[in-house]
């Protein structure tokens, strides 16, 4: 790793502070960790399937490991032959056992919302908890449809975790129009629908990632998709299978933007998932002038993958089409970094969902960009960024992994070092991120391991 001034004090902020830049480039080949969304789902579906499933490419990050721990606590045998492989002996749809303690989902909104759909159909009571950040995220959006199906679910008075889920007498399928574009809510309803009588259907206001529908089919559970309408019959079964999880495009996005904005850069990212409901980041950057090519397209299980080649690009500001926003919702923080160095103005609208992620990502990114001298104005549903130069300074991450990684990428074009506070949550989705960035040519200084 690149060496330099290190931070030796041991206060909470300083021990988790990374100083990045200024300058650097990004060159070489890289494999980013497995897809986090798919890792969560693979554990859930394999646990509920009949027989043994072998999972490869699993993300060994804190979020998905908490999902593993939750299903182990409910009696599922899950072994890890190595860091990225799982062997799961499924217990069937009705084989889970009551855990002896609350299920802790850490920082994972995906984990909590999806597992709640599974737990809604069980014959035992459970409590689902999370860390301080997750405990502030809205769960009313899943509680409402689950209650309509007959589930007994309660939360704190503000609609946030922990969640208490009592045994359901019987669940009944519903036809649920999603009030917001959310793959997590859609998936929660579909997972509960497996335990419901009759038909469960969801209608989306805008396309969202379809990993749940694809993976259900892979595990042998029929799902019908007709435009924005997804439906399934309840009380079916899942069958074990072997599943390959591709690299996470949300993690790859940081290196894609890095190679676009850094001088003299050329990087190939191998085996990245390019599910069409997730490629908004590539489409947006290409509209901005990003030099991005997809090679070696193929399928990994039910998911399309490719190798992504990115070179230094001359980016221009654009009005990001609202239709692409749901397809890049998790990648928008690092897209804001691209906008900060692009020529002209970039506007983002229709992204109010960013305000209820691990942090209020609109507010967090606007504050960090302004701290670095960028002309950025937060709006209720997005941001207006006038591209130019990025200075140095100190930015807070609000304990959000994507905020931390985004400002690390910003340091490639900063005129002075960028100090990024509270970076430990990066491990939830991208273990080894800073080490990989340094190996590719970025300027990264971290405190000693003993700090």
Q: What tokens were used for 301?
A: 């299980």
How many CB atoms lie under 10 A from the CB of residue 27? 15
CATH 3.65.10.10-classified regions of the chain:
12-33+246-445, 36-244
Torsion of CA 338, 342, 347, 353, to 10 degrees: 0
User: Contact 190/117 with Cβ under 8 angstroms?
Assistant: yes
Q: What region, left, alpha or beta, does residue 420 occupy, with left being phi > 0 and alpha being psi -120 to 50 degrees? A: beta
**In tens digits, what is the pLDDT along the chain, a chain of 451 residues?**
333 322 333 345 566 899 999 999 999 999 999 999 999 999 999 999 999 999 999 999 999 999 999 999 999 999 999 999 999 999 999 999 999 999 999 999 999 999 999 999 999 999 999 999 899 999 999 999 999 999 999 999 889 999 999 998 899 999 999 999 899 999 999 999 999 999 999 999 999 999 999 999 999 999 999 999 999 999 999 999 999 999 999 999 999 999 999 999 999 999 999 999 999 999 999 999 999 999 999 998 789 999 999 999 999 999 999 999 999 999 999 999 999 999 999 999 999 999 999 899 999 999 999 999 999 999 999 999 999 999 999 999 999 999 999 999 999 999 999 999 999 999 889 999 999 999 999 999 987 654 3
Q: Taking each helix axis from N to C terminus, what angle separates 109-119 and 36-48, rounded to the nearest 10 degrees? A: 20
Structure tokens at 17: 């502070």
- Given this model, what pLDDT does residue 157 score? 85
How far is Cα 353 from Cα 182, in angstroms, rounded to an integer?
Answer: 9
- Cβ neighbours for 294, distance < 8 A, ≥ 6 positions apart: 274, 282, 306, 307, 308, 309
d(CA 142, CA 234): 18
Query: According to the model, what pLDDT value does residue 450 have?
Result: 40
Strand partners, 440: none
Residue 8's pLDDT is 32
Which residues 6+ apart lie within 8 Å of 322 measured at CB?
A: 349, 350
DSSP string, 296-343: EEEEETTEEEEEEEEE----B--B--GGGSGGGTTTHHHHHHHHHHSB
42 vs 64: CA distance, rounded Å: 10
How far apart CA 30 and CA 267 sit, in angstroms, is 8
3-state helix, strand, coil in the chain (%, to 5): 35, 30, 40
Residue 267 structure tokens:
């990087």
Contacts of 15 (CB under 8 A, 6+ apart): 7, 9, 447, 451
CB of 239 closer than 8 Å to CB of 219: yes
B/e letters for 116-138, b = 16+ CB within 10 Å, e = fewer, are bbbbbbbeeebbbbbbebbebbe
Q: Provide the CB-side half-sphere exposure for 91 (13 A, CA).
A: 15
Q: What is the pLDDT of residue 2?
A: 34
Asked if 233 contacts 388 with a C-beta cutoff of 8 angstroms, the reply is no
Selected from 3.50.50.60, 3.40.50.460, 3.65.10.10, 3.40.50.300, the CATH number assigned to the domain covering 36-244 reads 3.65.10.10
The whole-model pTM stands at 0.91
User: Tokens for 419?
Assistant: 């100090």
Written out in words, the top-level CATH class of the domain with range 12-33+246-445 is alpha beta
330 is annotated as an active-site residue = yes
| Cis, peptide link before residue 318, omega less than 30° from 0 | no
Structure token pair of residue 244 = 């390959």
Coil vs helix vs strand at 285: helix
Position 449 scores a pLDDT of: 54
Spot the catalytic one: 35, 63, 210, 330.
Answer: 330
Kindly compute the dihedral angle of the four CA atoms of residues 423, 427, 432, 434, in this order, to the nearest 10 degrees.
Answer: -20
Report the distance separating Cα 148 and Cα 196, nearest Å. 11
């Amino acid at each position: 790793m690149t060496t330099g001034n290190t931070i030796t004090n041991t206060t909470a902020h300083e021990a988790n502070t990374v100083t990045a830049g200024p300058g650097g480039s990004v060159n070489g080949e890289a494999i980013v960790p497995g897809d986090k969304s798919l890792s969560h789902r693979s554990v859930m579906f394999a646990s509920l399937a009949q027989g043994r499933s072998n999972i490869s490419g699993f993300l060994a990050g804190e979020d998905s490991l908490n999902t593993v721990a939750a299903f182990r606590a409910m009696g599922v045998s899950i072994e890890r032959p190595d860091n990225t492989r799982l062997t799961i002996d499924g217990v069937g749809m009705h084989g889970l056992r009551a855990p002896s303690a609350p299920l802790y989902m850490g920082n994972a909104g995906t984990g909590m919302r999806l597992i709640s759909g599974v737990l809604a159909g069980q014959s035992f009571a459970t409590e689902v908890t999370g860390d301080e950040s997750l405990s502030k995220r809205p769960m009313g959006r899943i509680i409402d449809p689950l209650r309509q199906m007959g589930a007994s679910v309660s939360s704190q008075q503000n609609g946030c975790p922990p969640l208490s889920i009592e045994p359901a007498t019987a669940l009944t399928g519903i036809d649920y129009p999603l009030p917001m574009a959310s793959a997590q809510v859609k998936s929660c309803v579909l997972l509960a629908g497996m335990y419901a009588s009759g038909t469960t259907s969801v209608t989306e206001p805008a396309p969202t990632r379809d990993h749940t529908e694809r993976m259900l089919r892979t595990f042998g559970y029929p799902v019908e998709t007709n435009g924005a309408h997804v439906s399934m019959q309840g009380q079916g079964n899942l069958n074990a299978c072997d599943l390959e999880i591709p690299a996470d495009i949300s993690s790859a996005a940081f290196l894609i933007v890095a190679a676009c904005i850094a001088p003299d850069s050329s990087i190939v990212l191998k085996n990245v998932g390019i599910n069409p409901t997730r490629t908004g980041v590539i489409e947006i950057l290409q509209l901005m002038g990003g030099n991005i090519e997809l090679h070696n397209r193929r399928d990994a299980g039910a998911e399309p993958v490719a190798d992504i080649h990115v070179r230094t690009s001359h980016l221009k500001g654009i009005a990001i089409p609202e239709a692409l926003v749901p397809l890049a919702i998790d990648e928008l923080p690092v897209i804001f970094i691209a906008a900060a160095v692009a020529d002209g103005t970039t506007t983002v609208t229709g992204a109010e969902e960013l305000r209820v992620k691990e942090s209020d990502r609109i507010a967090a990114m606007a504050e960090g960009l302004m701290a670095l001298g960028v002309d950025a104005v937060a709006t209720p549903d997005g941001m207006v960024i006038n591209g130019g130069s990025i200075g140095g300074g100190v930015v807070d991450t609000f304990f959000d992994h994507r905020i931390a990684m985004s400002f690390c990428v910003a340091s490639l074009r900063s005129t002075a070092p960028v100090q990024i506070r509270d970076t430990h949550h990066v491990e939830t989705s991208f273990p080894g991120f800073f080490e990989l960035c340094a190996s590719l040519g970025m300027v990264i200084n971290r405190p000693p391991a003993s700090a």
